[in-house]
Structures are given as C-alpha cells and as structure tokens.
Chain A
Amino acid sequence: MKEMKETLMVAIFDVFERMFYVFLEPVNDEYSDYAMAATIQFSGALKGEVNIFVSERLAKSMVQNLLGIETEDITEKDIEDCIKEAVNMICGNFLGRLDQTKVFDLSIPSFSRRPGKAAQGENVCMLCFDSDSDGFGTTLTLFN
C-alpha cells in the first residue's frame, strides 16, 4: 500500500500541475470543509475506487485554470465536469504508473455535492493536500 500511496501522490501532482496549474502541498491533517466529491471505480488486475474531495474555492480555481474563464462565469455544470474529469485523470494516471502492461476498465465518474466521510481501513489509503485555494483529499480503496 505504501508504494501505491507514493504512486498515487505522483499521479495527483502530475494531473494538478499539468491540467489545472495548481500546486499541492501534502499535509497530515485532513481538511474538514470539503464541498464536493467525485468517485471512479476501476477493475482489471486490481479492483477498487478512487475518491476525491474538493473545497469550493479549489474547485473554482481548477475550473478557472482549466477553461480560462472568470470566476463569475463558472457554472455548476463546469464544476461537476471538471471534478469528474480530475478523478478520471488521477485514476488513469495512477493505474498507468502502477503497471503500464495491465489493462484496467474505468467506470463513468460520479459527482456529489454532499461528500460523505472518507473511507477508512487497511485497504484504504488517504492523502491530504493544501494549496493556495484550500484543501484537497483523495482516498484509494482496494476491493477484494
């Protein structure tokens, strides 16, 4: 799980820096005010899911940077699309780095404005980050 955690962190940095121009700083404490979450399941050589938790301010910053639009022009659909795309790219990037030779199938990402509590357990790893635009969290859960 430790190796996966490191690989997931590299994937997150890559996606955020190259697509959203956001630089994240890993932190130990979980941010408590996430405004939304997105989930994607994967199956193949490994089966599991990736969840991301995003603050309102960071989500708007991501949309702004991705689409090059002003904050006041951002719609709820833009936010949903952007956050779903983020979890899709993070998951794909992570799995590719984990094993380039294996094929994984990804589900269609889902989005929620009511993020539940992050999963915990031996088969779950959680990463928390800070940025200029508030917090970001990710969980990777492996299914049996």
Chain B
Amino acid sequence: MSFNVLIVDDSNSMRSVIKKVITISGFKMDQCYEAGNGKQALEILSKVWVDVILSDLNMPEMNGLELLAALKGDSLLQEIPVIIISTEGSDERRRTVLEMGAKQFIKKPFTPENVRKILYEVIGVGDEGTYEGNERDADGGDF
C-alpha cells in the first residue's frame, strides 16, 4: 500500500528536503504533490485526492493556519490528516495548531525516522503499511 502526499512550503529547497526525507525514511509514497502556499494547496486539492498533507506554517499569501481553517471548513477535505512542519514550536503554538485540526506537529530540524513514524501514525497504519486502525480504506476513500 502506498500513499499520495501533498507538501506545502514556500521554500523549494525545503519541499525537496521533505520529499527526500520521506523517500529515504522508507515511507511508501505514491504521488507527491507540491504547493508553495495554502492557496496553491487548495487548488491542488480541488483536483486530486491525497492521503496526508505536510505543511509549513509561515508562508506568504495563505499560511499554514489559514490552510488548516480552510480545510476544516470543507466537509470532504477535513478528512485529510495534516502534519505541520515548522520552526515555530512553542507549546502554545503546538496546542493552537492541534486544536485547529492538525494531527501532528514536527519541529524543524527533523530526522527521517521521526517523519516516517509520524506519517504512519497519522494515517493509521503500521510501519510496514499494515492497518492499525479502521480510519480509512486502502483506496483512500470513505470509511
């Protein structure tokens, strides 16, 4: 089983790094979509389905918090688990982000092991891609 991933970060380099980290971590990634901000992410999400979103917070045009709010307001998109990857890691910020619907928070700098563990955790499967919960079916569709 492999998963479609959307990486949202205004830094081209950081998107490449996150993609590389996901690849070397051994996480089973199928399609990897990239967006430079929340607005571009929503455009992509209007066309394709992804299994997980990894988003930065600090971005121009539409930041990570605004993206979370937009996803929460959409009955379909709110089902997609979001992992925030940011340098801003205060307790309060982390709490806010989780309250707004993010599933997890990864603080930069990060390790591939940490990214993989959290990716599998939020999509509800084990490290080898086996189901641990009943959150989603294999096609990434309804429950």
Contacts and interface: CB of A to CB of B under 8 A. Distances in A.
Contacts of B11: 81, 84-85
B68 to A, nearest CB: 16
A48 interface: no
A100 B86 CA distance: 14
Interface size class of B (residues with CB under 8 A): 20 to 34
Interface residues of A, number: 30
A2 interface: no
A100 B93 CA distance: 10
A78 B13 contact: yes
A101 interface: yes
B114 to A, nearest CB: 11
Contacts of B13: 63, 66-67, 78, 81-82, 85
A104 B88 contact: yes
Given A85-B11, A108-B58, A92 B87 contact: yes
A78 B89 CA distance: 25
Contacts, number: 72
B90 A91 contact: no
A91 B57 CA distance: 14
A84 B9 CA distance: 12
B109 A67 contact: no
Nearest to A62: B13
Given A15-B109, A19-B108, A68-B20, A104 B87 contact: no
B93 A81 contact: no
Contact of B87 (A68, A93, A103, A107): A93
B90 A104 contact: yes
B12 interface: yes
B91 interface: yes
The residue among A85, A89, A93 with the most chain B CB atoms within 10 A of its own CB is A85
21 contacts: A14-B109, A19-B17, A63-B13, A66-B13, A68-B20, A81-B13, A81-B14, A91-B87, A92-B87, A92-B107, A95-B90, A96-B87, A96-B88, A96-B107, A100-B91, A101-B91, A102-B90, A103-B90, A103-B92, A106-B58, A108-B60
Interface of B: 10-14, 16-17, 20, 58-60, 86-93, 96, 107-109, 111
Please name the 9 residue pairs, one residue from A and one from B, whose CB atoms are nearest each other, closest first. Answer: A92-B87, A81-B13, A18-B109, A103-B92, A19-B109, A81-B11, A82-B13, A89-B87, A81-B12
